[in-house]
Structure 1
Amino acid sequence: MDIDFPQGPRQSATRSSNGCWTCRLRRKKCDEKQPVCDTCATLLITCHNAPDKPEWMDGGPRQEEMAERIKREVKEKAHFRLRRWERHIPNDSASSDSRSDGRNPGPEQPDISSQRGADCTLLPDDARGSLGFGRSDTVLLMFYLENVLPFLFPFYRPSPLEGGKSWILEMMLSSAVVRQATLSQSSYFFSVARRTLSCEAIWDTMLAQIKETFEVLRQSLEVINVSNITEHLHGAVRILASIMQLQRFEIAVLSLDNWRAHLNAALALLEQLLYSSENAEEAGVRVLFDSLVDRLGPPTWILPSGCVQFPSAEQAAFRFSAALLIFDDIIASTVLQERPKLYEYHGSLLGAADGEPPVNLEAVVGCHNCVLRLVGEVAMLDAWKQQCRRAGSLNMMELVDLATPIKDALDKHLSLLASRPGANPNADEDILDVFRQDYWQQSRYPASQTTLVTRVWAHAALLYLSVVVSGWQPANTEVRENVGRIVELLSHEISPPAMLRTMAWPFCVAGCLAEPARESEFRGMVDALQPPSVFRTVRKALDIMEDVWRNRGAVDSMSRDLAACFRSQGDLVLLV
């Protein structure tokens, strides 16, 4: 569902009638910011923002010439958009050999220095050499596949009969970028599991691996920057997957400071990938997405007869990374009070007007596409409200009118979800259940709980919408009911308790609006998650709640909002 926001950040899904002349010429949306709109600023192109119609906007040859000039400028500035992100990556060129201090980084650590400067995934297939690595790396890579990946993404269960997660193993074996990003994460969680994280040498080893990862990423980006991305589509997809991994790892373990740099880099890379085909400016987003997936193929045939096939590693990686990126972008918009950067893509990539949507958020983060799209709509409404408030033109009746269809859609989805049982495993996987360990342990599949998880998100979206429209009212009957239902679902219906880490954002929204009598319930849910070192985002959510609880009554109910809560401790928190 798309809401039309008059005189706000979004005029149309495809063109702007009141924005800058650059966006009008490109038939793109424009937020109408002065002196440079966000769209042009993101692309690093000239924002023609004069109040009067320029002479070249004549509907004739001069307009066509300017359109071609702007197209060239978009393409020419592509590498600069990526390099903006590189400035945020720690430049440890002086420590490119991170072991120069004499510490032993651990048994059989791989020396990838000879691979830097050109990730093997960026070379022609026949130029890829063998990537030798030691037994310790083999252990860590398997530990990641068997333990870390299911923990980080419990809903991600692609059918084994369609290749399953084999694309991840393939990328780890053939790509220095992906392998280093994976080893960094696996080393940390392996140390947690062995209770050796407090050992200084272990921690130093992990930090050294992270520096290695940044260095490999930087050098791989440079290969793309000095050439045309169409020459390195597969390598660019692997870099995109690595950036998303690094973002998740840093948020979960190390720092909350770099997520915007990582997100912006991934957004820029996704844009380059989508618009890498010929005549891209004239094509729709769905066509661009499908075209890119086709060029990342062909699918791999697994039987000589060619009767069974599954996606190539790059096709699977791109779909997975795109889902994470759209999700992160939506959550980031609630923190920044800006429209989601990929908002114009939501209808094409998350909608299902002509069958299955090309991006399935439920399969990756556990929440149905429709509800997360509505969270994005609320973020749009919040951004529109803030823009009108700054301009002194906020009309509360208009705000309510815009919010009503969002609320009606959320209520409708909740009614449907409440009457729907948990999803059953796919029919073609039933025979495989007997091979799985959890079948014998009689545990519930996380994938079967996506209906419950989506209900949590929908109730949180209603709370978010309530704050945007009516201000901060924890004692409001509907607010109390939505908080109560979230607590009930998290405490008694969703299992195991560790699933809470996948719902840090709705958990935090509910907690911030909880009344004093419920504080102990939220604290109890967090205290039950052990060890604390692998549940950092949930604990950060509790820190935010505690700050809100301490300051009850200190802030006017109409001026407090959720974005202020997310920023209450002096940093921008992305609860993913």
Structure 2
Amino acid sequence: MTPGQKKKSSCWTCRLRHKKCDELQPLCGGCNALEIHCLYGSDKPDWMDSGKRQQQMTDKIKSQVKKNAKRRRGIALMESIARDISNVSEDVEMLSPSDDSSSLHVPISRSKGNAAKSSPTSDSVSLSHLADTAALDPPATSSTRDQDPEPKAALSELDMGFITGYMDYTFPTLFPFYRPPILKGGRTWLLALALKNSGFLNTIVSLSSYFFTIIPVALIPGHETCMSSTWKELHKQMDLALSTVQKNLKDISRRETGNSPLQSLYLLATITHLLIFEITLPSGKWQIHLDAATTLFKQIVRDHGDDNKNEGITKVWEKLSTNLSSPMSIPPSPNQSAFRFFSTLLLIEDVIASVSLERSPRLTDYHHELRHDGSGNVPTLSIEEIMGCEAWVLLAISDISILDSWKNECKKSGNLIEADLISRAESIETSIKQGLARLDGKAHSEKSESIQGNKPAQTLEALLQQSNCSYGYTLLVPELNRHITRIWAHAAYLYVLVVLLGWQPTEPRIRRNCTMMIELFNNISSPIWLRSLAWPFCVSGCLALGEDREEFRRIGSAMEGLLGFGTAREALSIMAKVWSQGDMDAESWDIGACLKILGHRVLLV
């Protein structure tokens, strides 16, 4: 019988599954689509016994169908990311490291071979295009344990220097509040990813190159030559990253088995890290990277979280342990620490991006893993570790974004009920006020304990810091976390007032909160900390009036050289553009409109 020819009876697999069979030989359409074994024959299989063996075969086929579906989803995801990013514009705009008012246009290179060798102004590389194929070198098997990838050439001294520079300077500037202690693994995971995965290493070198070009280590003779060399290294590494991640994407798509949690983690880490790069430039091309990372994150939790909607992230985290007999061991494995960091960062970016994109956050299903359940259990993810702010504020911003999206949809359809808007907005407003009251209570409690001499036991980091022997991070005191939380909370309060009242900068509550924000920002002594507060700085600054605007300009100038690294300059540009517009229409203007006033939507993280 020739292929595709029909037979007069269904295959035994379709009979077992109680499905209609198209009777094509040698492989029916149903089995072919599901990639499962198709059995024809005149004799009934011995497992078709209407009993235990038949049930076992049914369960086996169901398991195979589910496994194959996971694999197909993974391949489809990689192909979708590749298609989306291929449509990204071939022009990437970066701020000039030498002139605050100018910009440097970097043309695109599709070269897959040797890195470009021309000067910084003529050199070329695709920065946005990288995120589509952001796959690190995956392990050869599906085991969740750490495994060495294929052998790589030894790192050069230059590469090791860039890794060290990234860990000691660039990364702490990007995430100044992230200071995990030794018992939580420290920053070992950064080094582990860089050593195991060439794509991740290439982006680290690129970010470090950009950082040291924007913020020179020292202004000495020969600096221009050094800067030119650094730009060349950036372009070289991004060209290498493009080649590496495209190769890895093809490798993943060709695999016959589904991705392991570790393989998926590597992919998530690279895409999210490229998103960081895109934001840091900034190029305005961040949305496609964020969408890709969000889609991948959902798939990781769905496929490796044991279908547990309440603890999916925790289940993935446990599977990434190198100690399978005790996944909650201390310290966590580098893979666990990496997953925790990038998952938390992605949830933060999803919420802040929702304000700019004027849509509801897409990862709200996972917000419960940010909340304390009241039983003393520590959430799997910690917002405070990364952004220095307690999780309840970010969750409030998420609720406001959802409310804002609902309000806009109702206005478009003509179904907005003012009473519903007021009720929901006042509920959020109350929760913010209660949160601020809790902060005051904590401050009073700690002050009383200090007076009574009830001090906690000294830790290693604290002892080293007191002895002037600490290297790297110093400990964050609780007062700083409360201060950062207050800044975000007052910005959230301004946001909900705008959603409720419209654009009314003269409204007394808005005026009081803007004044409070100036006072809070004045108490921030570190330019790096200010840089990390771009979103609350911009939200409050846009609503400033009169002399308050000069105060915000002065606060912005305190960031000094860091204005060129990240979104701080864009925040100031947004504020200046809003101020230049004069009076805005209270009904149509809002925070989302401010964040796209430069002609593109800005992600201020």
TM-score (norm 1): 0.77
* Alpha-carbon displacement from aligned partner over 1:441-496 (angstroms, at most 9, x marks no partner): 9997445411111111110111000111100111111101111111111112x232
- Determine whether 1:293 maps to 2:321: no
Aligned length: 488
Give the Cα–Cα distance (whole angstroms) in 2 for the partners of residues 501 and 133 of structure 1. 32
1:431 partner letter: L
The residue aligned with 1:219 is 247
The residue aligned with 1:561 is 590
Give the Cα–Cα distance (whole angstroms) in 2 for the partners of residues 390 and 416 of structure 1. 38
The residue aligned with 2:262 is 234
Cα distance 1:420–1:279, how it changes in 2: closer, same or farther (>3 A)? Answer: closer
Cα distance 1:366–1:461, how it changes in 2: closer, same or farther (>3 A)? Answer: same
Q: 1:505 aligns with which of 535, 538, 547?
A: 535
Give the Cα–Cα distance (whole angstroms) in 2 for the partners of residues 70 and 559 of structure 1. 48
Q: Is the CA contact 2:115–2:237 (under 8 Å) kept in the aligned structure 1? A: no
Shift in Å at residue 118 of structure 1?
8.1
Shift in Å at residue 428 of structure 1?
7.0
TM-score (norm 2): 0.74
Give the Cα–Cα distance (whole angstroms) in 2 for the partners of residues 351 and 86 of structure 1. 38
SS in 1 for 2:281: helix
Q: Is the CA contact 1:382–1:468 (under 8 Å) kept in the aligned structure 2? A: yes
Q: 2:281 aligns with which of 250, 253, 277?
A: 253
Shift in Å at residue 420 of structure 1?
2.7
- Determine whether 1:266 maps to 2:293: yes
- Determine whether 1:368 maps to 2:368: no
- Greater shift, 70-79 or 310-319, is seen at 70-79
Give the Cα–Cα distance (whole angstroms) in 1 for the partners of residues 595 and 118 of structure 2. 42
SS in 1 for 2:275: helix
The residue aligned with 1:406 is 428
Q: Is the CA contact 1:167–1:317 (under 8 Å) kept in the aligned structure 2? A: yes
SS in 2 for 1:472: coil
Shift in Å at residue 97 of structure 1?
2.0
Q: How does 1:527-538 map to 2 (within 5 A)?
A: 527-532=557-562, 534-538=564-568
The residue aligned with 2:234 is 206
Q: Is the CA contact 1:233–1:273 (under 8 Å) kept in the aligned structure 2? A: yes
Give the Cα–Cα distance (whole angstroms) in 2 for the partners of residues 222 and 429 of structure 1. 51
Q: 1:123 aligns with which of 127, 132, 140?
A: 140
- Greater shift, 223-232 or 516-525, is seen at 223-232
Q: 2:77 aligns with which of 64, 75, 81?
A: 81
Gaps of 5+ in 1: 1-67, 105-115
Q: Is the CA contact 2:135–2:246 (under 8 Å) kept in the aligned structure 1? A: no
Gaps of 5+ in 2: 1-63, 91-107, 121-132, 142-146
Q: Is the CA contact 1:251–1:259 (under 8 Å) kept in the aligned structure 2? A: yes
- Greater shift, 89-98 or 170-179, is seen at 89-98
Give the Cα–Cα distance (whole angstroms) in 2 for the partners of residues 412 and 94 of structure 1. 54
The residue aligned with 1:547 is 577
Give the Cα–Cα distance (whole angstroms) in 1 for the partners of residues 546 and 134 of structure 2. 55
SS in 2 for 1:394: coil
Q: 1:193 aligns with which of 216, 221, 232?
A: 216
1:502 partner letter: S
Q: Is the CA contact 2:498–2:591 (under 8 Å) kept in the aligned structure 1? A: yes
1:152 partner letter: L
Shift in Å at residue 347 of structure 1?
2.1
- Greater shift, 524-533 or 448-457, is seen at 524-533
Root-mean-square deviation (CA), in Å?
3.4
Give the Cα–Cα distance (whole angstroms) in 1 for the partners of residues 532 and 306 of structure 2. 39
The residue aligned with 1:475 is 506
Give the Cα–Cα distance (whole angstroms) in 2 for the partners of residues 117 and 477 of structure 1. 48
SS in 1 for 2:459: helix
Give the Cα–Cα distance (whole angstroms) in 1 for the partners of residues 320 and 459 of structure 2. 30
Give the Cα–Cα distance (whole angstroms) in 2 for the partners of residues 441 and 435 of structure 1. 5
Give the Cα–Cα distance (whole angstroms) in 1 for the partners of residues 336 and 278 of structure 2. 25
Cα distance 1:222–1:435, how it changes in 2: closer, same or farther (>3 A)? Answer: farther
- Determine whether 1:134 maps to 2:156: yes
* Percent identical: 29
Q: How does 1:274-289 map to 2 (within 5 A)?
A: 274-277=301-304, 280=307, 283-286=308-311, 288-289=312-313
The residue aligned with 2:17 is none
Q: 2:185 aligns with which of 149, 163, 185?
A: 163
Cα distance 1:273–1:127, how it changes in 2: closer, same or farther (>3 A)? Answer: same
* Alpha-carbon displacement from aligned partner over 1:96-143 (angstroms, at most 9, x marks no partner): 124255779xxxxxxxxxxx9984443343653244121011111111
Give the Cα–Cα distance (whole angstroms) in 1 for the partners of residues 174 and 561 of structure 2. 15
- Determine whether 1:435 maps to 2:464: yes
Which structure has the greater CA radius of gyration? Answer: 2
The residue aligned with 1:5 is none
Q: Is the CA contact 2:370–2:383 (under 8 Å) kept in the aligned structure 1? A: no
Q: How does 1:303-382 map to 2 (within 5 A)?
A: 309-354=330-375, 355-382=377-404
Cα distance 1:101–1:186, how it changes in 2: closer, same or farther (>3 A)? Answer: closer
* Alpha-carbon displacement from aligned partner over 1:37-71 (angstroms, at most 9, x marks no partner): xxxxxxxxxxxxxxxxxxxxxxxxxxxxxxx9999
* Alpha-carbon displacement from aligned partner over 1:316-353 (angstroms, at most 9, x marks no partner): 10000011000000001111111100012212444434
Shift in Å at residue 274 of structure 1?
0.7
Q: Is the CA contact 1:172–1:179 (under 8 Å) kept in the aligned structure 2? A: yes
Give the Cα–Cα distance (whole angstroms) in 2 for the partners of residues 532 and 155 of structure 1. 16
Shift in Å at residue 150 of structure 1?
1.4
* Alpha-carbon displacement from aligned partner over 1:527-549 (angstroms, at most 9, x marks no partner): 12221554441111111111111
Cα distance 1:340–1:276, how it changes in 2: closer, same or farther (>3 A)? Answer: same
Q: Is the CA contact 2:505–2:545 (under 8 Å) kept in the aligned structure 1? A: yes
Shift in Å at residue 568 of structure 1?
0.7
Q: How does 1:452-467 map to 2 (within 5 A)?
A: 452-467=483-498
Q: Is the CA contact 1:244–1:321 (under 8 Å) kept in the aligned structure 2? A: yes
Q: How does 1:139-158 map to 2 (within 5 A)?
A: 139-158=161-180
Give the Cα–Cα distance (whole angstroms) in 1 for the partners of residues 116 and 569 of structure 2. 36
